[in-house]
Amino acid sequence: MLGAIIGDIVGSRFEFNNHRSKDFDLFTDASFVTDDSIMTIAIAKALMEAVKASQDPEHVDQAKLADLAVRHMQEIGRKYPNCGYGGRFERWVFSSDPRPYNSFGNGAAMRVSPAGFFARDEKEAVQLAKTVTAVTHNHEEGIKGAVATAVAIYMARRGAKKEAIRQRIEDDYYILDFTIDGIRPLYVFNETCQETVPQALVCFFESESFEDAIRTAISLGGDSDTVAAITGAVAEAYYCIPPALGRRALAYLDADLRAVCDEWMRFTSG
């Protein structure tokens, strides 16, 4: 999860002012936390609460998880009304009757990393991703973007090689017949899973380290914070995060968000 938060914060100042190079300062006074981090943290909270409420520690009650995802995305999300929500999602956050709205926006993938990091097998990674996504992004492309991201995270966390992860993505989710250098000149801002998730995954596949993955994602342009959040989540699972980068990113969180992150770290370290 922290990898997504780092990617989000680093990318925050480039979302509408793209930087097509790997040469930049990762953190500055202009960097900030956006909805990508806030919703990722909300999903982590929902997942922890669902596991705690489960009568069977080997199985998460998916209906309970869906209810908790709605509850915590709304409760946490309402505290940060100016963090960059898309129009339809903002209405959902503040709705008294929140329902899925057939979205295939990349918000489905930006927030899903806790599912990939918690899952105890690939089947569970798929199911958890579907459950926490379908409460808003229930379009098949929204579900696919979230599931592909969660599966990549799960496989990376379990020690799979990049070649194996890439093959799974290409077999089951997206054709990755491009390079970042090849698409960079014409790549533009896009908020769909279809035009964000494949690109973010290729940023990871082409990277040489966690930091290089984040820098590659930023260099692509487009929806920089979300591309980097997705890339960063998978890169965390594969490389681990340099402690200094983690500390820098956590310093941008307020006390409430930091408390959930600290709880998540304890939860996943046991």
In this prediction the pTM is 0.98
Three-state SS string across 144-199, please?
Answer: HHHHHHHHHHHHHHCCCCHHHHHHHHHHHCCCCCCCHHHHHHHCCCCCECCCCHHH
> DSSP secondary structure string, the chain?
-HHHHHHHHHHHTTTTS---SS-S-SS-TT----HHHHHHHHHHHHHHHHHHH-SSTTS--HHHHHHHHHHHHHHHHTT-TTS---HHHHHHHT-SS-------BTHHHHT-HHHHHH-SSHHHHHHHHHHHHHTT--SHHHHHHHHHHHHHHHHHHTT--HHHHHHHHHHHT------HHHHGGG-----BSTTTHHHHHHHHHT-SSHHHHHHHHHHH-SSHHHHHHHHHHHHHHHH---HHHHHHHHTTS-HHHHHHHHHHHHHHH-
Distance CA 193, CA 149 (A): 10
Model pLDDT, residue 57: 72
**Residue type (1 letter), 16:** F
Model pLDDT, residue 4: 98
Cα-Cα-Cα-Cα dihedral sign, residues 125, 68, 261, 29 = positive
CB 236 within 8 Å of CB 2: yes
pLDDT by residue (tens digit) across 35-53?
999 999 999 999 999 999 9
Model pLDDT, residue 200: 98
Distances (CA, A) of 226 to 16, 38, 60, 124, 262: 12, 12, 28, 24, 22
Distance CA 185, CA 195 (A): 15
Parse the chain into domains and list their residue ranges.
2-269
Model pLDDT, residue 270: 64
Query: Within the chain, which residues score under 70 in pLDDT?
Result: 270
Query: Within 10 Å of residue 80's Cβ, how many Cβ atoms?
Result: 19
Tokens of 219: 């260099």
pLDDT by residue (tens digit) across 96-108?
999 999 999 999 9
CATH number of 2-269: 1.10.4080.10
Tokens of 215: 């820098």
